[in-house]
Amino acid sequence: MYKEFLPVTENTPSLTLAEGNTPLILSEYLSHLANATVYLKYEGANPTGSFKDRGMVLAVAKAKELGARVVVCASTGNTSASAAAYAARAGMRAVVLIPDGYVALGKLAQAMVYGADIIAIRGNFDDALQRVRDIAEPAGMTIVNSINPYRLDGQQSAAFEICDALGSAPDQLYIPVGNAGNISAYWKGFRAYLKAGRISSVPQMCGFQAAGAAALVHGQPVSHPETFATAIRIGKPASGTLALEAARESHGGIWAVTDDDIREAYRTIAREGIFAEPGSAASVAGFLQRVRSGAVDKGSTVVCVLTGNGLKDPDTAMSIQPSPARVVDNSQQAVLDAIGGSL
Query: CA-CA distances (angstroms) from residue 314 to 84, 118, 179, 278, 283?
Result: 20, 21, 23, 10, 20
- Please determine, for residue 343, whether its predicted confidence score (pLDDT) is greater than 70: no
Provide the pLDDT for residue 322. 67
How far apart CA 184 and CA 42 sit, in angstroms, is: 18
Could you give the 3-state DSSP secondary structure of residue 18? coil
What pLDDT digit, counting tens, does each position of 120-160 carry?
999 998 899 999 999 999 999 999 998 999 999 999 999 99
* Sign of the torsion angle spanned by Cα atoms 224, 228, 230, 236: negative
What pLDDT digit, counting tens, does each position of 67-110 carry?
999 999 999 889 999 999 999 999 999 999 998 887 777 888 99
- Please determine, for residue 161, whether its predicted confidence score (pLDDT) is greater than 90: yes
Tell me the pLDDT of the chain averaged across its residues: 94
Instruction: Kindly state the DSSP code that residue 296 receives in the 8-state scheme.
Output: S
pLDDT band at 319 (very low <50, low <70, confident <90, very high): confident
Query: pLDDT above 70 covers what percent of the chain?
Result: 99
Could you give the 3-state DSSP secondary structure of residue 307? coil
What pLDDT digit, counting tens, does each position of 183-210 carry?
999 999 999 999 999 999 999 999 999 9
Name which of 55, 160, 313, 273 is nearest 63 in CA terms.
Answer: 55
